[in-house]
Amino acid sequence: MNARLNEIWVYLAASPLLGLTLTLLAYQGAVWINRRCNGHPLANPVLIAVLTLVALLWISGTPYPTYFDGAQFVHFLLGPATVALAIPLHAQLGRLRRLAGPLLVALLVGSLTAATSAVFIGRLLGASDATLVSLAPKSVTTPIAMGIAERLGGLPSLTAVLVILTGIFGAVGAQWIYRLMNCRDPAVRGFSLGIASHGIGTARAFQIGEQTGAFAALGMGLNGLLTAVLLPWLMPILMRWMG
Amino acid sequence: MLKAITLLLLFQLIGETIVMLFRLPVPGPVIGMALLFGVLVLRDGASTELRNTAQSLLQHLSLLFVPAGVGVMLHFQRIADEWLPILIALPVSTFATIAVTALVLRGLQREESLE
């Protein structure tokens, strides 16, 4: 019996089916837990699903690349989903036109705050150069951040992880910050969350509401573009300035 | 559904091509999003089919980040070595960014509506 089970395991562990199914199961379990907690920000679906899967892979001794063979089918959908963000964005066209000036100023200030504060705090607490460069693009969406880190001499795969942690921190903490600031405007909430925590913040913003989500998508897209242009130029200045 | 998905993939493909062609530092899907946005502005909106497909895709946006997030297991060592700067810099910087952006946008919006 045990030999037979082992045979089945060896077969399944090597096929993409298992990684894909586990990802979907872990995510739906995480959504279920999130609902049971009345959507409490700490019960973040990405966080719960990632922790569950890491624990499962660790216990079963499965290497990440084997898991990713299956999970890549989900990962692939990030591309078309990013393109699809144009649609809720377009629904806010009227408000976008009226707010263009303030949005652009807030974008510039937010983008600079995101990169500068991360590098500054990291350096203060003794992070290595490679970690600092991987930290700097943490607020922009994973594929852009990885590209930037690679060009500046950071570690792209570490950047991917820092970006996702940033997303989770933003998604978890945003509600408290808005409460503290007494901020209810969906445009302000969404835009700041999209700039600070990219796609995961945007996913959280869509849970709050359609309009919040649209402005988060806008913040995420614009900050991705701006950071890609700004950081290769800003990073050497920051590194020199902090020694 | 099928038409809408084809359209999204097509815009992604155009985006990727433009990025390769001009060696832009931005990923293809972001250019694809900008192009589709431009087309929607010109054509005055999306079809119902496209709207519904986008909505069902974006409803589970969180799911799409899970595979990359599990990659955290590749970096346990570095995170263990540098846990203090990482675990303080990330949340503090993220919260500061949210607060500063929200304050600036709110301040400028008020100023504009007063004029």
Residues A93 and A204 in one domain: yes
Q: What's the pLDDT score for residue A40? A: 81
Q: What's the pLDDT score for residue A8? A: 84
| pLDDT beneath 70, residues of chain A | 1, 243
Residues A148 and A99 in one domain: yes
Interface-testing mutation among B66, B82, B92, B112, with chain A (most A C-beta atoms within 10 A): B66
Residues A51 and A122 in one domain: no
Task: Say which of A177, A219, A225 has its CB closest to residue B95.
Answer: A177
Q: What is the pLDDT of residues A54-82, one digit of tens each?
A: 999 999 999 999 999 999 999 899 889 98
Question: Could you tell me the pLDDT band of residue B10, with boundaries at 50, 70 and 90?
Answer: very high
Residues A64 and A121 in one domain: no
Min Cα distance B21 → chain A (Å) is 16
Task: Decide if the complex's ipTM is over 0.85.
Answer: yes
Task: Please compute the mean of the pLDDT values over residues B23-47 and round it to a whole number.
Answer: 87
What dihedral angle (degrees, nearest 10) is formed by the CA atoms of B70, B73, B75, B79?
100
Q: Can you read off the two tokens belonging to residue B82?
A: 């540098």
Between B20 and B61, whose confidence is greater? B20
Residues A142 and A224 in one domain: yes
Residues A186 and A101 in one domain: yes
Q: What's the pLDDT score for residue A243? A: 67
Domain ranges of chain B: 1-59, 66-115
Min Cα distance A148 → chain B (Å) is 7
Contact B82 A131 (CB under 8 A): yes
How many CB atoms are closer than 10 A to CB A243?
Answer: 5
Q: What's the pLDDT score for residue A80? A: 93
Across A176-210, b (16+ Cβ under 10 Å) vs e yields ebbeebebebbbbbbbbbbbbbbbbbbbbbbbbee
What is the count of structural domains for chain A? 2
Residues A211 and A177 in one domain: yes
Task: Please compute the mean of the pLDDT values over residues B101-108 and round it to a whole number.
Answer: 95
Residues A118 and A103 in one domain: yes
Task: Please compute the mean of the pLDDT values over residues B48-73 and round it to a whole number.
Answer: 89
Ramachandran quadrant class, A182 (left: phi over 0; alpha: psi -120 to 50; beta: rest): left
Q: What percent of chain B has pLDDT over 90?
A: 57
* DSSP-assigned states of every residue in chain A: -HHHHHHHHHHHHTSHHHHHHHHHHHHHHHHHHHHHTTT-TTS-HHHHHHHHHHHHHHHHT--HHHHHHHHHHHHHTHHHHHHHTHHHHHHTHHHHHHHHHHHHHHHHHHHHHHHHHHHHHHHHTT--HHHHHHHTTTTS-HHHHHHHHHHHT--HHHHHHHHHHHHHHHHHHHHHHHHHHT---HHHHHHHHHHHHHHHHHHHHHHH-HHHHHHHHHHHHHHHHHHHHHHHHHHHHHHHHT-
Residues A69 and A98 in one domain: no
Q: What's the pLDDT score for residue A54? A: 95
Domain final residue pick, A49, A76, A103: A76
Domain final residue pick, A53, A76, A99: A76
Task: Say which of A107, A122, A155 has its CB closest to residue B89.
Answer: A122
Residue B111 pLDDT more than 80? no
Residues A111 and A171 in one domain: yes
Domain final residue pick, A51, A76, A101: A76
Residue B115 pLDDT more than 60? no
Residues A150 and A87 in one domain: yes
Q: What's the pLDDT score for residue A160? A: 85
Residues A25 and A140 in one domain: no
Q: Range of A57's domain?
A: 2-76
Q: What's the pLDDT score for residue A1? A: 65
Residue in A closest to B16 by C-alpha? A79
CB distance B96 to A185 below 8 Å: no
Residue B26 pLDDT more than 80? no
Instruction: Please name the residues in contact with A42: beta carbons below 8 A apart, sequence gap of 6 or more.
Output: A172
Min Cα distance B49 → chain A (Å) is 11
Q: What's the pLDDT score for residue A105? A: 96
